Amino acid sequence: MSSRFLELERARLLAVVAVVAAATGACQRETRDFLPPKPGAVVAGAASAAASQAEIANAAAMVGRYEHNAYGTSAGKRLWTWYNCSGCHGAGGGGGSGPALIDDVWIYGGDAGTVYQTIAYGRPNGMPAFGSRIPKDQIWQLAAYVRSMAGLASADAAPNRDDAFLTRTPESFLDPQKPETVKPSAAGGRPQ
């Protein structure tokens, strides 16, 4: 085969790959998954704190379905307001009696599975356990949103500004942060 033919074929292949990548990227971002994943599927999660390790391990699978998905992050943003997370964490996630969520400081870890655990099973020093009150699918949506508040979710799929008083930079405008985990202080939930 001539080298020119190979070059043409490679160019064609790259074009196809680019289109497919754009398409899958778009598909991931634009899917509206109204139903949670079926039980038994990777992300179904378990009922006890011990088995939650499996959830953390499977968290990588969450990224495509929630963090790279516009519907998932925007649902998370809606639930943030509905479930009054701002009551402790501040109107735009800037902190109050609970720690700030928009900075790059994470007490227990900033990956999706750890954030899920935090919301579902609570943490010492005041974070309630919402696992019995919020369905798993919604907890994943909240986790995806919380990560987008720190610029850790995909910028394409992160939510935009609300049609309300502007209290924070819209999540889709944030630069991605480099998360670091710090120890909780002895006195309260604040890092040292």
Residues 86-125 that bind other proteins (CB under 8 A): none
**Cα 89 from chain centroid?**
17
Residue 138 contacts other proteins per CB under 8 A: yes
Residue 160 contacts other proteins per CB under 8 A: yes
Residue number with CB closer to other proteins (21 or 182): 21
Q: Which of 56, 61, 83, 191 binds other proteins (CB under 8 A)?
A: 83
Q: Which of 37, 63, 78, 121 binds other proteins (CB under 8 A)?
A: 78
Stretch that binds other proteins, among 86-94, 109-117, 152-160, 176-184 (CB under 8 A): 152-160
- Residues in contact with other proteins by the rule CB under 8 A: 22-23, 26-27, 29-32, 34-36, 39, 70-71, 74, 78, 82-83, 132-138, 156-157, 159-166, 169-170, 173
